[in-house]
Structure 1
Amino acid sequence: MTVVHPNLEVTDAKIRARDVSVFYGAKKAIDEVSIDIPSKYVTAFIGPSGCGKSTFLRALNRMNDTIPSARVEGTIELDGEDIYTSGMDVVQLRARVGMVFQKPNPFPKTIYENIAYGPRIHGLAEGKAELDAIVERSLKRAGLWNEVKDRLTDSGTALSGGQQQRLCIARAIAVDPEVILMDEPCSALDPIATAKIEELIDELRGNYAIVIVTHSMQQAARVSQRTAFFHLGNMVEYGRTSDIFTNPLEERTKDYITGRYG
C-alpha cells in the first residue's frame, strides 16, 4: 500500500500507472505500483539497490520487452493511451518516451550522426539543412554545442564521459520526446560532470516530463519536485520532494532518508 501525501495534486498527469506488477519468470520484481507522473516536473525514484525502481522505470517505455522472461501486468497510460496494447508501435513509443542510461552509450558514429540518426529514421527532417538545424538545436539544449561544434565529424565515443552523457541526452531530445527517463544518469560521472547534467535536467524540465532513478538522495533533493520511495518491489511513499525529505509519513522512508539502511 502506497502512502500518497495528501497535499500532492497531479492534475496534468503525463503518465498514469495503475496496479503495475513486473515479473522476471516467477519472480515478482514490482508489486502493484500506481502513480501519476506529471508533465513539466522532475520525478525522482529513490530506494536501496534492488528495490525495483529501475525495473519500474523501464516498464514506462516497454524496455522490459527486450528481456524474454519479463512480464508486465496492470496498465500504464501515456496521455490516456495504454502503452501495452498490441496495436502500440513500440518504436514510436520509445521516440515519445526517451531513455538515458546509467552508462553513456553513444553510437560508434560521428557526433553529428549520433544526433541525426533518430530524426532521420523517424522522418523528422526533409533535407540536410533541416537535419543540421535539429542537430544544432539538440546539442545546444544539451549544453554541448559550444564544446563540439568544430568537431561534429569526430566519433561520439571520443568525448569525455560527461560529454558522452550529454550527447546521449541530446540524442534523446532530437526526436522531440514528451517524456525523458533517466536511469542513474550520473553514477559513472565525476562531480563536475554530474553538476552539468543536473543543471541540464533543471533547464529541460519545463519542456518534458522527466523521471530520474538515483541512488543519491542529495541529487533527488536538488533536481526533483516529486519523489517516490521504493522498497522491496513496492512504492512505499510518493509526494512533493520537499515533503518526502522533511516530513516523510512512513517509517521505512524515514529510516532510508536518515541512513538507517540502504
Structure 2
Amino acid sequence: MADIADSPLANQANKSLEHENVETGEPKMRARDVDVYYGQKKAIDSVDIDVYTEFVTAFIGPSGCGKSTFLRALNRMNDTIPSARVTGKIELDGEDIYASGMDVVQLRARVGMVFQKPNPFPKSIYDNIAYGPKIHGLADAKPDLDNIVEKSLRRAGLWDEVKDRLSDSGTALSGGQQQRLCIARAIAVDPEVILMDEPCSALDPIATAKIEELIDELRGRYGIVIVTHSMQQAARVSQRTAFFHLGNLVEYGHTSDIFTNPAEQRTQDYITGRYG
C-alpha cells in the first residue's frame, strides 16, 4: 500500500498524529448495532462507532453511502421523517438517547447540528445567538445573554467581525460568516457534541480554512463529528475517520491509519480514487 503511504493525503493525516496520542476517557457517545430504515429499505446496517470529546471524528464515503443518515441518528433528527426507524443502541454518557423517557428537545441542545447550507434565523446576529439560551432557560437577564452572545461569537471566531453590528440581520453576513454564526448558535446552548453535515461544501476556500481552524480550536471542548465529501478535509481536521459504503461501516480508526495503511481493500480503493 505504498501508493497511499506516500500520498499528500497521508502526509496531511500524519500531521495530526500528535493529537491522537492523548489519553482518552470513556466515549462521549457510543453506537452499537445501529440500523436505520426508511420504510422497508435499510439505509444503515449494524454500525458500531465511538465518539470522543478528545478527537474530531470524520465520516467519509461516496454520495448516498449513509454517512449523513447515521449522523442524523446521533441526535434523532431522523425522527422528523415519518418513514424513518432506528434500531440498536446509541448512548450519550451511557444514557440511551432512544429511550422512551428521553427529552428530544434537550437532547438536541446537548447534541447540536450544523447543516450543509448555512441557515441563520431571519433575526439579528444577537438574537440568532440569544434565542437558544432563552428558550432553554439558560439565561433571562440581559447581562447574562450579552455574556453568552459574546462568548459564543468569540469561540466561533466571529466576534471581532460583527461586534459593532449585532443588530444587523444574520442573513446579511457572507456565507462563511453565516456558517460560523450557526456554529456560534449551536455553542450558545452549551452542547456536549456538535454534529457537522458537510459544513464547508457551500463555502469558498478561504471560508473553508476558517471553519477548519475553528473545528481544531473547538476540539477537546466538544465532541465533534463531521461528514465530509473531501478526503483532504478529513485528513486535515480529524483524528478518527469512519469510512461508509452502501450503508455499511467498512472501517473506523485513527485517521493516519485510514489514509496510510487501511485494513480493508474497499477503503484503499476509495482513497486512491478507484471509485467514489
Structure 2 partner of 1:36: 50
1:69 aligns with 2:86: no
1:98 aligns with 2:118: no
SS in 1 for 2:108: helix
Question: What CA distance in whole angstroms lies between the structure 1 residues aligned with 2:131 and 2:140?
Answer: 14
Question: What CA distance in whole angstroms lies between the structure 1 residues aligned with 2:219 and 2:178?
Answer: 20
Unaligned runs of 5+ in 2: 1-19
Structure 1 partner of 2:8: none
Given the alignment, which residue of 211, 215, 218 partners 1:201?
Answer: 215
1:236 aligns with 2:250: yes
1:227 aligns with 2:248: no
SS in 1 for 2:28: strand
1:12–1:39 contact (8 Å) kept in structure 2: no
| Cα offsets for 1:114-164 (capped at 9, x unmatched) | 000000001111400000000000000000001100110100000000000
The residue type paired with residue 106 of structure 1 is: P
Question: What CA distance in whole angstroms lies between the structure 2 residues aligned with 1:22 and 1:208?
Answer: 25
Shift of residue 41, structure 1, vs aligned partner: 1.0
Structure 1 partner of 2:185: 171
CA RMSD of aligned residues (A): 1.3
Given the alignment, which residue of 213, 216, 219 partners 2:230?
Answer: 216
Question: What CA distance in whole angstroms lies between the structure 2 residues aligned with 1:167 and 1:111?
Answer: 8
The residue type paired with residue 211 of structure 1 is: V
What is the identity percentage for the equivalent residue pairs of Structure 1 and Structure 2? 85
Q: 1:233 to 1:10 in 2, by over 3 A?
A: farther
Structure 1 partner of 2:17: none
Runs of 4+ in 1 over 2 A off after TM superposition: 7-12
> What is the TM-score when the length of structure 2 is the normalising length?
0.91
How many matched pairs? 256
| Cα offsets for 1:145-184 (capped at 9, x unmatched) | 0110011010000000000000000000000000000000
> What is the TM-score when the length of structure 1 is the normalising length?
0.96
2:24–2:54 contact (8 Å) kept in structure 1: no
